[in-house]
Amino acid sequence: MKMKCPHCNQPLESQDDLTGQTVECPSCKRNFTVPRPPSVPVSRAQNPVTLTALRDPKEGTAFGWLVFFSIILWILLALWIVSSFGLVLIIIGLIALVRYMIELFAVAYIKTNAVEVSDRQFPEIYRIAQSFAERVGKPLPTLYVMQENVWNALAMKIAGKRLVVLLSGAVDSILLKGSVTQLGWLVGHELGHHYAGHLNFWRRTTAQLGSWFVWVGLWYKRRCELTCDRYGLACAANLSESLRAVCNMAVGAQLASDMDIEQAIAQWNRHRSEFFVKYRTLYSTHPHTLWRLEELKKSAKELGIQ
């Protein structure tokens, strides 16, 4: 951690968190108590946010169609249970038990291989996440950082435990030439899956059952990702830095800061109506990266974030 001696103003740096401890300044040899690091200031753009405002306008429509298609499967499942005199419930129970055991093993792996983020472990990341959780009035899931050279992060609810896992491929790429604010966009995006209810049992079950009509299921997933992009924007509270985080995802750390965002959006609009682009979009679980840049700009205008 970095600090200054209150007596001689000498800049000091330590590899450990010494908050609350008495140390001696190597320059003036006087003792002082190490203060708590300053909290992240809440700017005008970081006022409490309304969750409904952060949801993508078309996500609700997509989910409504999933509810419609899931009802068909619910009816068929009920008839199957009745016709089998409840035997199907035993099969479903066994499948659920196996799945729960797999989730317990997955949580055990994360607990013992990833590093948990806290006010002492990667405190800057923790303060960004905690500040956003307070602004939306929701509890903060457990955050982890895990070594994996893939530009990705994960939001999970397994064995009843809510987790966000930031993979080092994304973290390293952003922090190499980017900023902690850009990383805040990624953190906010994954928190969005929790706070928007995407991982809640009934919503997730309904989405899974309704996804037999595959195109509606994929449409819903894309709109969920756009919702989470809006959460990331609100967490970073900075449009420019949020856009640069998406640029990093598109071209990597070395070129992200030099990427012409308006030209990239123009490229998307130039190709978006092409047949194979539309076909590729139809079967995508995530919105195309250049499309996300355009949607972020629209969302920022709607949410009043500069």
Statement: the pTM of the whole predicted model exceeds 0.75? yes
CA atoms within 13 A on the CB side of 217: 13
Scored b (16 or more CB within 10 A) or e, 253-264 reads beebeebebeeb
Residue 197: which region, alpha, beta or left (left: phi > 0; alpha: psi -120 to 50)?
Answer: left
pLDDT at residue 286 in the model: 96
CA 88 to chain centre: 36
pLDDT value of position 43: 40
Quote the pLDDT of residue 115: 97
Low-confidence spans in the chain with pLDDT less than 50: 38-45
Summarised one tens digit per residue, pLDDT across range 217-266 is: 999 999 999 999 999 999 999 999 999 999 999 999 999 999 999 999 99
According to the model, what pLDDT value does residue 149 have? 93
One-letter amino acid identity for 246? Answer: V
Going from the C-alpha of 247 to that of each of 253, 255, 262, 272, 295, the distances in angstroms are 8, 8, 12, 18, 13
